[in-house]
Amino acid sequence: MVSPNPSLFFTLLLLSVAVASSSSSQPNATNIGQGYRLISVEEAPDGGLIGLLQVNKKTKIYGPDIPLLRFYAKHETDNRLRVQITDATKPRWEVPYNLLPREQPPPLTQSIGRKSIKNPITVSEYSGSELLLSYTSNPFTFAVKRKSNGETLFDTNSLFSSLVFKDQYLEISTKLPKDASLYGLGENTQPHGIKLYPSDPYTLYTTDISAINLNADLYGSHPVYMDLRNNGDSASAHAVLLLNSNGMDVFYKGTSLTYKVIGGVFDFYFFSGPSPLNVVDQYTSFIGRPAPMPYWAFGFHQCRWGYHNLSVVEDVVENYKKAQIPLDVIWNDDDHMDGHKDFTLNPVNYPRPKLLNFLDRIHKIGMKYIVIIDPGIAVNSSYGVYQRGLANDVFIKYEGEPFLAQVWPGAVNFPDFLNPKTVSWWGDEVRRFHELVPVDGLWIDMNEASNFCSGKCKIPKGKICPSGTGPGWICCLDCKNITKTRWDDPPYKINASGTQVPIGYKTIATSAVHYNGVLEYDAHSLYGFSQSIATHKALQGLQGKRPFILSRSTYVGSGKYAAHWTGDNQGTWENLRYSISTMLNFGIFGVPMVGSDICGFYPQPTEELCNRWIEVGAFYPFSRDHANYYSPRQELYQWESVAQSARNALGIRYKLLPYLYTLSYEAHVSGAPIARPLFFSFPTYTECYGLSTQFLLGSSLMISPVLEQGKIQVKALFPPGSWYSLLDWTSTISSKNGVYVTLDAPLHVVNVHLYQNAILPMQRGGMISKEARTTPFTLIVAFPAGATQGEAKGNLYLDEDEQPEMQLGNGYSTYVDFQATVKQGAVKVWSEVQEGKFALDKGFTIEAISVLGLDGSGVISEVEIDGKPLMSVTNATVSTSQHVHLDGENNGESKIIMVGLTGLNIPVGRNFAMTWKMG
């Protein structure tokens, strides 16, 4: 996402290693080699830069060096610089261009002049609009700088390391300033919060080891970080992506960052920002904008592994209704399947006629139904899905035969989603299943890929596997370890699963083969991503609706196709806290539709914890309660106290659905996260850089939950400005420099505050999103407290939410900009509407406007709507009230005015203007 600029070569990889894991005895960079030297460089035909690098001194540690490298650099947009280093003589593995579309560098056959570099200490520069690439020739190093302020963003010139490039070991390092705050490099559970902490390596390699493992590789691989730096009165952010799907360790030591990668190429992308929102805009412009989500997806979801028959599911839906807790979507884990086999129904426990009758009933009221699908296809001669897969040759191979693994149905083969035939076969199976059961979305799990066995396996003779007794995840195949190849036993051991287990442990053997000879060794971390793409393509063709897919495993670009939940978390207070950090990181990764299992997946949460968890989970972008087969029931109505907390918290959520949906639209068009760290709105306020116990929805709505046992108060940080309590609008907290305030938070209360200068559209709420979205709107206008002049802005996006596209100009959508000003006692609130026909046809109206923070006596006059006296509006009334304004820094209190206008009937789809004067 940066504009083209002829210049620059790239040569990459500075090297990292002096930063070896404290538990690792593997050699560091100074023992590996002396880097490379630049021997030629010239302009590429596409306006980029191409050069040749030659190794200075060959070593055999981790294998022989690749003697000649090609670097390629290009300013692809005004804000994005690419620097790639690869073998100059033969192609190496890269993330497939058909999975993640992007510009292709010139082919390796592109001629490169062999002009020698005479002065080995010469520094050369190639400039773009905002980013500047400089490099030295011997040893070859490169640096990326921001032109506007001269700061260095990435610099491989280091005394302790040099570029290393071997077939199965790549290393490069960058220096960092001490005050840089880094975020990203996931997926992992970070005990210290959202800000990266110098520690053992951040290992990136998709793995099913449960979210309870701290600082270990988990379900997704996102080798990108955001770097935020405070410059006094200003701040700047940028991001660095290493587009590589091989396993890697990333060592962060505070003043340096070192990549150690076991294959592929160095393919760096630099995004200049300079604001956090600019960064995710530029990043998602490159990797793909987040998928449009249907409106109902922002309702509340209920799931459990262990709904043994349809009557239990019907019971759950009925009990939510009785408890008056909102519910939009009911889910099935694999209980609906026949013998855990994908795309099947259990004929006894989920008889199709009864299931179809149930779905007909819930669909009529707007509820939805989603089921799970695992990638492992049961090896079963009477199973049509498997037989059709065999016939189409869709499975990953090992020594010429489908690779044998074990998951829930027993012996399975894994579809190879890099194979176009597999994508077509998968789409056909989704279609067949949808004709059997009209599901509203698909949940793809276990797609790291997870395997209960390791190595080369065969089905045991003379015994049933699985036996039907004992835990289903115990391997019952006859297996032997595979260490005979360099792919199964690479020279450098990443810190897989936090314990340096073999990289093929409990997954597909890394020497297994995909389509066109691609090794699992290279493509492993792309498995869930490729399945998401295939599933999205399959659902897109059904009924012309917007697909909804939930995926456990993710990679760079997954947000374009799927939502994500954070996997098998625990019902503990620690995991409640970790859920916030993980959610915020996925917003940076371009996967804004994210949430954690509310109350924890296992074991049983306490009643108090479940109360507090729904008060957080009601504000996850993706809000779902999900529990383990072996845990007691934990639907929100199981405890009356939790039911009360759910009614309160979800009651707020359902009133905020239009706001959440508008944020989803913003995410789709600009990548802006739905849930955000506070520093997104306050990038110069360093106090919030590491804050992981509060978060924002959009730019202006702050959630400050209780995250500790036994607490009925919460200490919350309020950045500079005025904040209004969403609970009753009667209390306001203001400060000039930011302040911590201790808030009351009884068991059923979660503190939510609206920031100044915002206009928040809300509706009345309801028990289901289809019902809630038909109710009239209220606009909450928040000015700075006591200000005699100020402005506020907000917006609203509405559409026919299951249309495939989420965009303006399609005849099925409306977008409204709301604005307000106050100046010397004169107040104006107005709207500017784009594509108003949809909102007018649907009859959306504004019934009330509340304006907060006004100064004055409370007397208002000359109230007009579109130039006509308010009196002409039937049932319209005006009220004023004083409420408490707390000066958080001086502990002083004052009174400010709230003006309420009710009984209105203003069409959302038509411009309006309301004015009055304060006495």
pLDDT tens-digit series, residues 665-723: 999 999 999 999 999 999 999 999 999 999 999 999 999 999 999 999 999 999 999 99
pLDDT of amino acid 469: 67
**What is the mean pLDDT of the segment spanning 595-606?**
95
Determine what percent of the chain is predicted with pLDDT higher than 70: 94
> Residue 513 pairs with which residues in a beta bridge?
397, 519
CB 53 within 8 A of CB 36: yes
d(CA 793, CA 129): 31
Distance in angstroms (rounded) separating the CA atoms of residues 69 and 167: 12
Within 253-336, strands assigned E span 256-261, 266-271, 300-302, 329-332
Output the furthest CA–CA distance in the chain (Å, rounded). 91
Please state, in angstroms and rounded to a whole number, the distance separating the CA atoms of residues 643 and 228. Answer: 40
pLDDT for the residue 826: 95
pLDDT tens per residue across span 204-228: 999 998 766 788 899 999 999 999 9
Confidence category of residue 540, pLDDT binned at 50, 70, 90: very high
Which residue type occupies 475?
C
Phi/psi class of residue 232: alpha, beta or left (left: φ > 0; alpha: ψ in -120 to 50)? left
Domains in the chain: boundaries: 4-287, 380-433+451-532, 664-918
Q: If you average pLDDT over every residue of the chain, what do you get?
A: 92
787 pLDDT band, cuts 50/70/90, is: confident
- Please list, residue by residue across 378-387, b when 16 or more beta carbons sit within 10 angstroms of its beta carbon and e when fewer do: bbbeebebbe
Distance CA 225, CA 238 (A): 8
Residue type (1 letter), 392 = N
Condensed to tens digits (0 to 9), the pLDDT of residues 385-406 reads 999 999 999 999 999 999 999 9
Give mean pLDDT, residues 101-125.
Answer: 69
Lowest mean pLDDT among 346-360, 494-508, 594-608: 494-508
Nearest to 151 by CA among 263, 315, 273, 32: 273
3-state SS assignment for residue 384: helix
Distance (Å, rounded) from C-alpha 651 to C-alpha 770?
A: 14
Encode burial over 583-622: b for 16+ CB neighbours within 10 A, e otherwise: bbbbbbbbbbbbbbbbbbbbebbeebbbbbbbbbbbbbbb
Specify the pLDDT at position 356. Answer: 98
Q: Is the pLDDT assigned to residue 544 strictly greater than 90? A: no
**CA dihedral (19, 24, 28, 33) positive or negative:** negative
Tally of residues, the chain: 919
What is the spatial distance between Cα 396 and Cα 419, in angstroms, rounded to a whole number?
9
Coil, helix or strand for 249?
Answer: strand
Encoded tokens for 906: 């203003």
Domains 380-433+451-532 and 664-918 share a fold: no
pLDDT higher than 60, residue 5: no
Tens digit of each residue's pLDDT (9 = 90 or more) over 428-472: 999 999 999 999 999 999 999 999 999 999 999 988 888 776 667
Could you name the CATH architecture of 664-918?
Answer: Sandwich (2.60)
In the chain, % of residues over pLDDT 90: 83
Three-class secondary structure of residue 780 per DSSP: strand
Distance CA 166, CA 261 (A): 10
To the nearest 10°, the Cα dihedral for 649, 651, 653, 655? -150
Structure confidence by residue, pLDDT tens digits, 252-287 = 999 999 999 999 999 999 999 999 999 999 999 999
More confident site: 594 or 463:
594
| 148 vs 52: CA distance, rounded Å | 30
Give dist(CA 652, CA 762) in Å, integer. Answer: 9
* Phi, psi at 827, each rounded to 5°: -115, 140
Please classify residue 465 by burial: count the beta carbons closer than 10 Å to its beta carbon, then call 0-12 exposed, 13-18 middle and 19+ buried.
middle
Q: What does the alpha-carbon distance between residue 241 and residue 219 come to, in Å, rounded to a whole number?
A: 18
- Structure confidence at residue 123 (pLDDT): 60
Write the DSSP symbol of residue 523: H
Superfamily of domain 380-433+451-532: Glycosidases (3.20.20.80)
Q: Which residue has the higher pLDDT, 655 or 857?
A: 655
Q: Which CATH superfamily is domain 4-287 in?
A: glycosyl hydrolase (family 31) (2.60.40.1760)
Confidence of residue 888 (pLDDT cuts 50, 70, 90): confident
Residue pair 288/241 in contact (Cβ under 8 Å)? The answer is no
List the one residue out of 453, 551, 114, 66 whose CA is nearest residue 263. 66
pLDDT tens digits, 20-45: 333 343 545 445 768 999 999 999 99
Per-residue model confidence (pLDDT) at position 10: 25
Q: Which of 39-48, 325-334, 739-748 has the lowest mean pLDDT?
A: 39-48
pLDDT at 273: 97
| C-alpha radius of gyration, the chain, whole number | 28
pLDDT confidence band for 558 (50 / 70 / 90): very high
Looking at the annotation, which residues are catalytic? 445, 448, 568
